[in-house]
Structure formats: C-alpha cells, structure tokens
Amino acid sequence: MEPFLLRRRALAACTATVAVGVLALAGLTGSASADPAPRPTGPTAVSTDQLSPGLLKAMRRDLGLTAAEARGGIGHESRAAAVAAGLKRALGADFAGARVSGDDAALTVATTDAADATRIGRAGAKAVVVAHSRAELDTAKAALDRVALRKAPEGIPAWYVDVATNRVVVQAARASAADAFLAAANVPHALVTVRESREEPRTFTDLRGGDAYYMNGLGRCSIGFPVKRGSSQSGFVSAGHCGTPGVGTSGYDQQAQGSFQGSVFPGRDYSWVATNTNWTPRALVNGYGNGDVPVTGSTEALEGSSVCRSGSTTGWHCGTVQQRNTSVTYQEGTVSGVTRTNVCAEPGDSGGSFISGSQAQGITSGGSGNCTQGGTTYFQPVNPALQAYGLTLVTNGTPTDPPTDPTDPPTDPGGGWAAGTFCNAGDRVTYGGVAYRCLQAHSAMAGWEPPNVPALWERG
C-alpha cells in the first residue's frame, strides 16, 4: 500500500449555479478565439453559508480546516474550475490539463504552445509549457485500457494521466509487468512513468446517498445518489459490482426496497436500482449525525480539489481528487474511467457518495488501505452512469422534474438556447440546429451552452 499523505488544505468545487456565476465573473465565453478576461480579485461571489455541518466537520477532521477556511476555499476552487473550463475550450489541441494547489486553489494550466502563456496569465492562471497535450496522453491511456479490457494486466494495480508530471503513470509491482503492458498496447515509454506499487485494490462489496442497502442477503453496499427515470420511477445509482440485473435489494431497515435494473462491472463500475413506492428519493447525502448534505448538481471538480465521501461503514471522510480517467485492476478485472483519490474507505462503503461542496462527483468503487491507516480510493464518476441509463439526478432537496419520455414527440417550448434565460428540468431547446433536453433547473450563462455542459443538457 502506498503511504497515505494528506497535506493539502484545499476545498471542493461548489454547485452548478456557483460555477455559472464564477464563469460569468471570469468573463469567459464559448468562443475559442476570445481571450479570457483577468481573474477577478477580492472575495468570490459564491454563497457558502449553507454548507452542511457534516461536510464542514469532516473537512475539519481530515483536512485540518476551520469552517471559515472551508467556506473561503470552496469559492476559490469553484472559480478555478470555471476559468479552467474556458481555457480548455480556448486552447483547443494545445490544452494539456489543469490543476489547483494551495489554500487559495491557485490554478495551473498546462499547454504545449508557449504562445498560449499570455492568454493563460490574463485569466489569472499560471502557465506551464509541456511536451504532450492532454489529448495525446489520453490516447495513450485509452490504448492501455483496450488491452486491459481484453485481459486484466497482472501486477498492474492502476494507471492514469498525471497532469502534474505530463505523463501517463503506470503503477506496477515489477518493471517487467509494466514493460509487457506497454508493449501489448504499443505505447512508447517516452509518454510513461512507471512507479513501483504494492497496492492490491479491492472492491468494497461488504456493504438518501451514503445509506446502507442489502442485496438478497448477499452483502451490503451504500447508495450513491437518488435518481428519477421517466415520469414516475424512482431509484438510485450505486456501484456495478454490488449486484447484477434482477438482484433484489432491501434498505437500511431491511425492508423491501427494489431491484437492480442495470449494472456494468468490470469495464466500468456503475449500476442503478429501481425502488418501490415506499421509498421517496431526496437530494441529500447522509451526514451520519452531522446534518445531511444537499445535492444541487453534478459539476466535476478539478484535479487537486478536495472531495468528501459518505458510506455506510465509515461515514464521512475527505481528501483530494488526484487523477481523473484512471484505470484500476481488481481481482474481477479492469475498470477504466474512474477517479483516483486519497480518501479512505472500507468494505461496505462501496457504491456510496463522493461529493464536492454540493456537487455530486461519483460512486465509491474500490481501493486499498483503510480508515485507520489511510489509503487510496477510486470512484466511478456519476454523470456517465446517469447518461448510460437515461436517469436524472435528484437535486435541490426534492426530486427534479423527470426528463420527457423518449417516446413522446419532440417539442421545443423554450425555442433556441439563449444566455440569461431560465430552464426547468425537462425543457427542450435548440442550439446549433440540435435539440437538447434540460437535465437540471438553472439559469443559462455564456460559456454554458448545451454542448459544453453535459451535466445540465443532453441531446434529444
């Protein structure tokens, strides 16, 4: 197991509404040709007064933060996420990743073209010129993923794109295992850093968000996030390794709850359970005695941001997002597209909620270590699970309006998308000649056009 080190004092990205606000403050638009305006100074316009006491308590324990530091840091990180999103679009193929660091979430943006440094600096970020674009590294990692999906690589616990080093990092028990893996995928060593690792990741299958549920007497997992499908069906997303379609579930109180409708594992690690009418979905994550945490959206936090987890074995724990789009080898096979964190977890926490501020991040998959000594935990991002099954995240304390039934004739009540307008979940608009359905109620802002924000819009 790698040492568990938690030294950063940075915080999670906040709500989708928050991100919209800071994007407007940053002066970024959807145009790739427009230079971002300078990063605004002074306090952020983010309102953080309503953060959950449970979330603040967990951040104090695990990150050493006071409540005031937590509230201030959340604003800094959400601002950085918005600026990074605009720069990613502006830099195009030159973009090589973004990360935050320090108490004020200082933003570093990597590029392959030194001419981009001025543009990055004007946006308030530090520019770093590197050899490889993010797209180049992602392509190399995708080649490794394809090999691993055919047969899980022996002696290779995990691999990921590391923005800080501008390399694909392959963790390996021995150098020969890494060499064989790279050769099979035809990935050049120049793109890769091999790190020795004795990790043995496992799924946490013993097992509102974070609540326990049971699978036909076969074990216990934790709820990820409540969802809706269609006009009436409620349920929740969780880990794919927790159950297969048809497996029945009972709730934390051992009362009949529902059954798995879809499940993917290995390859990915997500599932969804449809529940009976005795269960009412709430936009909350269990705070385990410290106040429940509201869920208002699913905007992804940047690498380097803090993130917290709720699970039915160990309750609340926090850490940082280390690398997104990681691949990890479990005994059952390889899972790709997960996010690597230094948050601890234990058996029974599987499927539980990862959240940054009030933004749903993902579903606990597996990892190594425990909450006594620390460890590494991977989460399956929530948005791909929602998209795979046509689900709508329950937000704002009550279920959102469900998306229109796909068999209904298309309508366009909102007309064309326009900044400054408000949409409710289920509303349809057109943008660039393509129809989109609103997934979460929000006010439209420049830079958040439907193709750019899959957490808020889906085609169709």
| Predicted confidence (pLDDT) at residue 35 exceeds the cutoff of 70 | no
Q: What's the CATH code of the domain at 440?
A: 2.10.10.20
Tokens of 56: 């603040």
Position 264 in a domain:
no
Give the CATH number for residue 94: 3.30.300.50
Domain C-terminal end among 95, 129, 163: 129
**189 included as an active-site residue:** no
For residues 298 and 95, the answer to whether their CB atoms sit within 8 Å is: no
Instruction: Assess whether pLDDT exceeds 90 at residue 196.
Output: yes
Q: Is the peptide bond before 226 cis (omega within 30 degrees of 0)?
A: no
* Residue 27: inside a domain: yes
For range 70-87, the mean pLDDT: 89
Q: List Cβ neighbours of 58 (8 Å cut-off, separation of 6 or more).
A: 290, 308, 316, 317, 318
Give domain status of residue 414, yes or no: yes
Domain range for 29 is: 16-129
Q: How do residues 171-185 score in pLDDT, each as one tens digit?
A: 999 999 999 999 999
The reported pLDDT for the residue numbered 264 is 95
Average of pLDDT values for 448-458? 71
Q: With H, G, I as helix, E, B as strand and everything else as coil, classify residue 233.
A: strand
pLDDT at 37: 33
Predicted local distance difference test score (pLDDT) of residue 6: 23
Q: Which of 116, 145, 211, 269 is catalytic?
A: 269
> pLDDT tens digits, residue range 138-150?
999 999 999 998 8
Average pLDDT, the chain: 81
Is pLDDT of 3 > 80?
A: no
Among 86, 114, 129, residue at a domain's last position: 129
Beta bridge partners of 214: 220, 250
218/318 Cα distance (integer angstroms)? 29
- Say how far residue 7 (Cα) sits from the centre of its chain: 21
For 376-384, what is the mean pLDDT?
Answer: 97
Over the stretch 415-437, which tens digit does the pLDDT of each residue have?
567 765 667 777 888 777 678 88
- At residue 388, does pLDDT exceed 50? yes
Residues facing 369 on adjacent strands = 375
Instruction: Classify residue 107: in a domain, yes or no.
Output: yes
Domain-embedded: residue 314 = no
Which one of 80, 108, 129 terminates a domain? 129
Helices (H), 92-174: 117-122, 134-150
Q: What is the reported pLDDT for 49?
A: 63
Half-sphere exposure of 372 (CA within 13 A, CB side): 0
Residue 103: the pLDDT is: 85
Whether the per-residue pLDDT at 277 is higher than 60: the answer is yes
76, 132, 241, 442: which one is catalytic? 241
Within a domain: 435: yes
Task: Dump pLDDT digits (tens) for 111-136.
Answer: 999 999 999 999 999 999 999 999 99
Catalytic annotation, pick one of 336, 350, 365, 368: 350
Buried b (16+ CB within 10 A) or exposed e, 313-334: bbbbbbbbbbbbbbbbbbeeeb
Residue 406 pLDDT? 33
Range in 70-84, 187-201, 382-396 the model is least confident about: 70-84
What CA–CA distance (Å, rounded) separates 192 from 170? 7
**Secondary structure class of 94 (helix, strand, coil):** helix
**196 burial type by CB count under 10 A (0-12 exposed, 13-18 middle, 19+ buried):** exposed
Is residue 376 in a domain? no
Instruction: Say what the pLDDT of residue 54 is.
Output: 76
Judged against a pLDDT cut of 70, whether residue 353 lies above it is answered with: yes
456 vs 302, higher pLDDT: 302
241 noted as active-site residue = yes
Q: Quick one: average pLDDT of 40-53? A: 51
The count of structural domains within the chain is 2
119 occurs within a structural domain: yes
Mean pLDDT confidence for 440-445: 63
pLDDT confidence tier of residue 45, bands split at 50, 70 and 90: very low
Decide if pLDDT at 1 tops 70: no
